[in-house]
């Protein structure tokens, strides 16, 4: 079975739709990272409120509270940075894969176009021989 130019275009279009869906999902992933960063910021505020309440109750000293806040906030920031790093890496890898696959599809289409043109050229040559 030989593929025509139209077959390849149809295939590329359908796969292009799939890649757009992947990119949209990555957009959601990016949005998730931003939401995560927002939650981390909110949790910093909650950490401070929680520790402040413990200091008021006398469960911990003011100095212990300061140290605890610093440690918890620092850990929250590290986790947020790790999340952002992972999101960027996954997005980068996905886009590299998509770029390579699209380049492969474009190469396949070019090969099919060349074969079609060669076929047309052979037809023209045979018609020309028939005219002589």
**Residue 126 is inside which H or E element, if any?**
helix 62-131
* Residue 117 placed within a domain: no
* Residue 57 placed within a domain: yes
As for how many domains the chain has, the answer is: 1
* Residue 72 placed within a domain: yes
What is d(CA 20, CA 120) in angstroms, rounded to the nearest whole number?
A: 35
Q: What digits encode the pLDDT tens for the residues 58-68? A: 888 899 888 88
Q: What digits encode the pLDDT tens for the residues 1-34? A: 444 445 444 544 454 445 445 545 545 555 555 5
* Residue 82 placed within a domain: yes
Residue recorded with tokens 């590329």: 12
pTM over 0.75: no
Using alpha carbons, select from 82, 83, 77, 78 the residue that is nearest to residue 30. 83
> Where in the sequence is the domain holding 71, given as residue range(s)?
5-110
């Amino acid at each position: 079975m030989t593929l025509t130019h139209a077959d390849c275009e149809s295939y590329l279009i359908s796969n292009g739709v799939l890649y757009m869906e992947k990119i949209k999902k990555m957009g959601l992933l990016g949005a998730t990272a931003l939401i995560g960063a927002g939650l981390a910021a909110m949790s910093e505020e909650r950490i401070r409120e929680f520790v402040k309440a413990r200091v008021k109750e006398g469960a911990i000293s003011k100095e212990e509270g300061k140290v605890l806040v610093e440690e918890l906030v620092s850990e929250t920031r590290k986790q947020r940075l790790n999340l952002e790093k992972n999101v960027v890496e996954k997005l980068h890898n996905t886009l590299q894969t998509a770029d390579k696959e699209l380049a492969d599809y474009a190469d396949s289409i070019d090969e099919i176009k060349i074969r079609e043109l060669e076929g047309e050229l052979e037809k023209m040559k045979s018609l020309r021989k028939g005219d002589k």
